Structure 1
């Protein structure tokens, strides 16, 4: 294993070609350009509001009748104004200084606002397919999870896409996928999913029962360069791909160290964790996140061998959070975990794909009012077998201040990455952790290559399927195959299966995952 310290470097595919694509299903984001862009509160917009920009009318995308896209018109060639849907209000926004978000209820027929105030629009921007309803809609607490769009290859072809007009930039993209026997065939489908031409997820039948019945969320961060975000689904054999919701939210162009790594990367979420707290984020709780990120409890990723103690800021104000370019929420730094025993190390077990490099973000705040001086709490960060840095939070930022640090890990040899906070003085502490697979864009999708398209998806996963057509990679503790990167026995909210309609895909119950 080789690690790279901050500042990070730009990733170049080895040998001048794209590396293997990931097969775990995870949670993720998108990308943007422009050094002077500042993300503000996300603009939730209805059909009458701004949905696309940064292109003259002659370059606007036109969608045929029946495609799910209403008639559009654009302003002329103003660089920051955009395309609008008629017929009522026109909202002119300088896109360099405004965030954009859109939540699509796939298969849904009407706009609505969720209980947490999120605006959802009826299904649109799809290339083909048909609508479906889950078999047991009463089990799904959120409206957008009850309907879906499926793409029968016989009528819709092997490739089908959502092509969402958006200003060029970086975006957080979250999908919800569910089967729940909507077609009464009792067989989950196999299909691949790409974003902007790069394969990001692979679904293989049979799915774990929990994923099939209750669904799964996945998210990533990626760039949209041409004015349209293309999320495409590739049928395998005659299976119809399915999707229940698509969410997109603008991300600051410099977020997650893009100035060093470049924008020709997709960051696929392998775990976005809050320590000492419970799941929170837009769509699940009434808590805000500027990029619409959802944070899940770290409980399933910590080593069970180490007794821990949860800490709280106790009403103290946290400084240094929710700031450009990453806008990490204040709530993340209001809780933390530490060890009971001063000699113990905090230990996390993170599932990874050894073919990929990873960007790990650590979130700290000294929220123990008993720590008042430099050197009182010091610990080493050990990733794999390498001691990569020493942290003294109070020395860096003082008390009740957010402190962020990140690291890139390369050339992994194990499907479980062990991260330890080893005490030097006092007990280690952490508020949160993020783990992102760094997936280079397919060379065919990078504009300078002059090529387009993904090619035949059946050739993209060389050696990744076995003779029974079940995707290889991550398996649960009983050895059952299913969706890559998911442990079927763990829910993101700690509830029993069947009591909630969804869970986040990937990295749940990481200690139960093993590599084939």
Structure 2
């Protein structure tokens, strides 16, 4: 019975393991998320030979579209671009939403505007998720490698921001944007790798191949990110040579990096004249670099261990001694990838393969990445508050205010001061300097969401409306200058709660009413408050005297009493009017009822009077005759 139970458990475990394997294989077969944007295009575009889909332009914050001049044939065959004039602001971005969280290769291709009146080769910076990944250099339009910027990033909030920062040398012009998902563990270079790092692509070199190619050209797995490989036949035509094979290469296209097989079917090898190999490139000094070296023994005459052995040196230091490809892989035609991280203090990175035992060095490909610490971003709540402020104040386009206000640190928003909050590992806004900028909107109550503000200067603009009561909740505020605007209404009593306030300038507005006692009456320990130039203000020395002061409760009582009195008068007037209407109606009814009797009486009176008036005089009667009793 026990044996039967154990067999059932084993069977269950096999089934679960099989299901897990199927699930893993299904996950690997799933296509990675990817989106490609043809900048400046009003419709979707398909490009040959791979029939790649490029979506019409979307997600941008500004700029204009134009026809494109492609400086290099490796650039996607697209005909339009978007460029960002300096008049639209120094920072402009693309926001791509609904991107699943994960690991992504982001690539941006540049092009030239097909307009001779514009700068033919602009120089600008590029950032992804607030981290600076590229600074274009003069001459980029004549270099295949410099015609695009690429980095590996982690997406954590289902959106990607890609921003372009003007440096005053022409208008940034963008041909295309690609966001391509790669394996979550791709290019894991060691303990410091993770979501806090960005890998900026510096060099990808396919050795022994004479032409550049993408992973698509190499029939690579889509999880590789469609990398671009610059091809080179040799490092030095006089001292080394290229070889190739059509044999199948083992251990390729495996997770997490999914390198294509064709990458290992070409190689550069040393010669009898010069068995060593050396590659040198220019880099930025004082940076850390992740270096990936690719090998496969494809020389048919090398088929056992110790026939090819070499040391790998980087800037003179041995980082991999006694590399024997066959010993490491176990056989010919099998891929080997080595990775190391080095700190480079100078401007040159040199990779040397120094042959030993009389053999020749060999290499198939080289990858070099700059390791960048991902920038900590600004608090989302504060970014939203600044965007509300931007819209409410009608901020001119020249300010930009796109992307992250504090990062990259080389390009903060104009008029915004930032401070890093170590407690929450976020940037926060501690100052606004927008004085004399022609602002004409109103100050929104959402400004109180910038709870770290210490200094607000909005003076000498044309800002209208009341001063928000919520300003009094920014407890650390030390300077508040709203002078020479068009603020109206009363001064909020909440400003009296700002115990750190040292400078308060409200002069030159249209404010009215009594200056709150907790502002005008408290000791001002070296503080400077200015309320002048507001004709309606009163209540402190230097301003007109106010009338009888009523408390808030008294004001409410007076208002309530006035309302009751007004309602009483209205009701009384309505009742009087109603009574008057009733009297008039009654009089009309009475007059109507008496009308026939009055008419008859009038006729009788008239008849009597007329009878008297027309009776004939009896001249025959004897005046001495006594009238009869009957008469």
**One fold, TM greater than 0.5?**
yes
Match of 1:277 in 2: 209
**Structure-2-length-normalised TM-score:** 0.52
Shift of 1:384: 0.8
Match of 2:285 in 1: 354
Q: Separation in 2 of the partners of 1:113 and 1:435? A: 31
- 1:188 and 1:430, CA in 2 relative to 1: closer, same or farther beyond 3 A? closer
Match of 1:83 in 2: none
Shift of 1:189: 3.0
SS of 1:257 mapped into structure 2: coil
User: In the alignment, is the contact (CA less than 8 A) between 2:286 and 2:346 conserved in 1?
Assistant: no
1:367 to 274, 298, 304: 298
SS of 1:218 mapped into structure 2: strand
Match of 1:438 in 2: 371
Shift of 1:217: 2.1
> Per residue, is there more helix in 1 or in 2?
2
User: In the alignment, is the contact (CA less than 8 A) between 2:233 and 2:242 conserved in 1?
Assistant: no
User: In the alignment, is the contact (CA less than 8 A) between 1:363 and 1:404 conserved in 2?
Assistant: yes
Map 1:304-383; keep pairs closer than 5 Å: 307-313=239-245, 315-341=246-272, 344-383=275-314
- 1:416 and 1:333, CA in 2 relative to 1: closer, same or farther beyond 3 A? same
Matched, 1:163 2:114: no
Match of 1:177 in 2: 110
Q: Separation in 2 of the partners of 1:374 and 1:445? A: 55
Shift of 1:203: 3.2
Deviations 1:69-115 (A, max 9, x none): xxxxxxxxxxxxxxxxxxxxxxxxxxxx5411111110112212211
2:355 to 413, 423, 440: 423
- 1:413 and 1:458, CA in 2 relative to 1: closer, same or farther beyond 3 A? closer
Q: Separation in 2 of the partners of 1:321 and 1:197? A: 34
Matched, 1:455 2:396: no
User: In the alignment, is the contact (CA less than 8 A) between 2:249 and 2:265 conserved in 1?
Assistant: yes
Deviations 1:336-384 (A, max 9, x none): 1101226531000022111311011000001112222111111100111
- 1:383 and 1:37, CA in 2 relative to 1: closer, same or farther beyond 3 A? farther
List gaps (5 residues or longer) in structure 2.
1-23, 385-402, 413-631
Matched, 1:198 2:149: no
Map 1:101-500; keep pairs closer than 5 Å: 101-117=34-50, 118-134=52-68, 144-154=77-87, 156-165=88-97, 166-182=99-115, 184-186=117-119, 188-203=121-136, 207=139, 210=142, 216-237=147-168, 239-257=170-188, 260=191, 261-282=193-214, 285=217, 287-290=219-222, 291-299=225-233, 302-303=235-236, 307-313=239-245, 315-341=246-272, 344-389=275-320, 390-397=322-329, 398-410=331-343, 412-425=344-357, 426-444=359-377, 453=404, 455=406, 459=410
Deviations 1:292-317 (A, max 9, x none): 101111358x256x52121112x211
Q: Separation in 1 of the partners of 2:143 and 2:244? A: 33
Q: Separation in 2 of the partners of 1:141 and 1:429? A: 27
List gaps (5 residues or longer) in structure 1.
1-35, 42-96, 462-516
Q: Separation in 2 of the partners of 1:159 and 1:37? A: 44
Deviations 1:464-493 (A, max 9, x none): xxxxxxxxxxxxxxxxxxxxxxxxxxxxxx
Q: Separation in 1 of the partners of 2:290 and 2:218? A: 28
User: In the alignment, is the contact (CA less than 8 A) between 1:342 and 1:427 conserved in 2?
Assistant: no
**Structure-1-length-normalised TM-score:** 0.63
User: In the alignment, is the contact (CA less than 8 A) between 1:308 and 1:340 conserved in 2?
Assistant: yes
Shift of 1:141: 8.9
Match of 2:620 in 1: none
Shift of 1:423: 0.6
SS of 1:444 mapped into structure 2: coil
RMSD: 3.3
- 1:349 and 1:146, CA in 2 relative to 1: closer, same or farther beyond 3 A? same
